[in-house]
């Protein structure tokens, strides 16, 4: 019995010496592997993004079913194919009647799916900011095209189709040419009250109209058709009813301008009320040839989508960071430089251009 006790005590001593020699409690080996993955996880973040073969990107228009956005996506797809990007390029947008909530939802779900980049034509004003910031925090590239985020929060760079201040001057000039020296009353039929691009263009036109050469043009109202054809059509008719002396409806939206031109044509009002603004030639031919919408302007939406894709790809791949002063190459469109957006208090842009002004002489081209 005594012998057994001594044998047991010796065993305990030997075991405790062994543990002391190892310098750690028996549970330690469990902890060690647990610490390792932290180091392993940190490693991929330091690797340059360029090792990736493709970038999953979402091209998000204000809403679906607008020909100009289809054209922009065709341009983005052209760039995607040209760059040999093996990632997935998705064309996702809400319907026009629930554009704000729909855009927010699409950005939220793209973020949780972990895409690489989101390219937005923003129709939600600054309401998009929280989800754009969340996407950026998740490491997603967020750029805007066509319509920026007013405060620029959550947006890295805006692809400006044309200079927004120049848009105001172009519209004021078209108004002057259509109304003539005698001038007259003009009303604006816009898209939605949250559309950053239209709001900036209207503000720029109001600024331009302060020049004495436009003194005889009276801007009587600004109304919104929400880029919905029926609403825009009805708003155009309501303007005519409200202002019997109205001479011109200026619609800085391709949906608004066609709807207004159709409304004036249907009601036989084209001799009295002319239509101008920003329109797509393919949708405006009949109204321009009839004289109802003698002059309007636009830019290439195909090019806008193409350039937006190039910019976003360059940032996603790590070739550029998306900061002021950087220059990058955009395929057939050449070289662009990221600059401070002079038409907003904050934010960066690249400037595309040019404007094309259409009338009966070139609308069919």
Binding residues vs ligand RAM (CB under 6 A): 62, 66, 68, 121, 146-147, 191, 195, 197, 227, 253-255, 278
What does the block give as tokens for 201?
A: 């263009």
Shortest Cβ 250–ligand RAM spacing (Å): 12
Q: How far is the CB of 62 from ligand RAM (least distance, A)?
A: 5
> Which lies closer to ligand RAM via its Cβ, residue 184 or residue 347?
347
Q: Which residue, 197 or 300, has its beta carbon nearer to ligand RAM?
A: 197
Distances (CA, A) of 50 to 185, 196, 274, 287: 56, 33, 53, 49
Nearest to ligand RAM of 148, 184 (CB atom): 148
Q: Which is nearer to ligand RAM, 129 or 255 (CB)?
A: 255
Instruction: Identify which of residues 187 and 280 has a Cβ nearer to ligand RAM in the complex.
Output: 280
Q: Name which of 82, 83, 89, 96 is nearest 119 in CA terms.
A: 89
Residue 85 C-beta: closest distance to ligand RAM, Å: 25
Adjacent-strand bridge partners of 276: 250
Q: How far is the CB of 148 from ligand RAM (least distance, A)?
A: 11
Closest approach of ligand RAM to the CB of residue 254, in Å: 4
Cβ proximity to ligand RAM, 104 vs 159, nearer residue: 159
For ligand RAM, which is the closer residue by CB, 172 or 316?
Answer: 172
Residue 316 or 351: the one with the smaller Cβ distance to ligand RAM is 351
Q: How far is the CB of 50 from ligand RAM (least distance, A)?
A: 33
Question: In angstroms, what is the minimal distance from the CB of 105 to ligand RAM?
Answer: 19
What residues form DSSP beta bridges with 141?
117
Q: How far is the CB of 51 from ligand RAM (least distance, A)?
A: 36
Cβ nearer to ligand RAM, comparing 134 with 203 = 203
Least distance to ligand RAM, CB of residue 198, Å? 6
Shortest distance, position 60 Cβ to ligand RAM, whole Å: 12
Tokens standing for 17? Answer: 């010496």
With respect to ligand RAM, which residue has the nearer C-beta, 232 or 312?
232
CB of 68 within 8 A of CB of 301? yes
- Alpha-carbon span 255 to 252, nearest angstrom: 9
Contact 214/242 with Cβ under 8 angstroms?
no
């Amino acid at each position: 019995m005594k012998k057994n006790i001594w044998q047991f005590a010796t065993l305990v001593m030997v075991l405790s010496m062994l543990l002391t020699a190892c310098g750690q409690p028996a549970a330690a080996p469990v902890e060690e592997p647990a610490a390792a993955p932290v180091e392993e996880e940190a490693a991929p973040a330091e690797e340059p993004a360029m090792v990736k073969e493709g970038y999953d990107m979402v091209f998000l228009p204000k809403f679906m079913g607008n020909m100009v956005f289809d054209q922009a996506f065709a341009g983005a797809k052209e760039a995607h194919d040209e760059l040999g990007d093996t990632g997935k390029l998705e064309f996702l947008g809400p319907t026009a009647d629930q554009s704000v909530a729909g855009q927010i939802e699409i950005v939220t779900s793209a973020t949780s799916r972990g895409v690489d980049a989101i390219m937005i034509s923003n129709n939600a004003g600054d309401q998009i900011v929280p989800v754009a910031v969340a996407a950026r925090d998740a490491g997603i590239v967020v750029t805007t095209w066509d319509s920026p985020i007013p405060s620029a929060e959550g947006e890295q760079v805006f692809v400006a189709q044309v200079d927004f201040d120049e848009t105001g001057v172009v519209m004021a000039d078209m108004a002057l040419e259509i109304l003539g020296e005698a001038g007259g009353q003009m009303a604006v039929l816009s898209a939605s009250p949250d559309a950053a691009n239209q709001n900036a263009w209207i503000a720029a036109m109001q600024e331009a109209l302060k020049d004495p050469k436009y003194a005889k043009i009276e801007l009587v109202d600004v109304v919104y058709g929400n880029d919905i054809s029926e609403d825009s059509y009805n708003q155009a008719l309501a303007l005519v009813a409200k202002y019997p002396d109205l001479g011109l409806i200026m619609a800085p939206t391709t949906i608004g301008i066609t709807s207004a031109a159709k409304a004036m044509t249907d009601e036989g009002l084209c001799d009295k009320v002319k239509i101008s603004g920003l329109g797509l030639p393919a949708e405006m031919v009949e109204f321009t040839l009839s004289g109802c919408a003698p002059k309007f302007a636009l830019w290439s939406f195909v090019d806008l989508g193409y350039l937006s894709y190039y910019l976003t790809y360059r940032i996603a791949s790590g070739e550029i960071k998306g900061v002021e002063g950087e220059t990058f190459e955009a395929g057939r469109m050449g070289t662009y430089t990221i600059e401070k957006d002079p038409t907003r208090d904050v934010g960066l842009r690249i400037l595309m251009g040019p404007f094309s002004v259409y009338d009966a002489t070139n609308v069919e081209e």
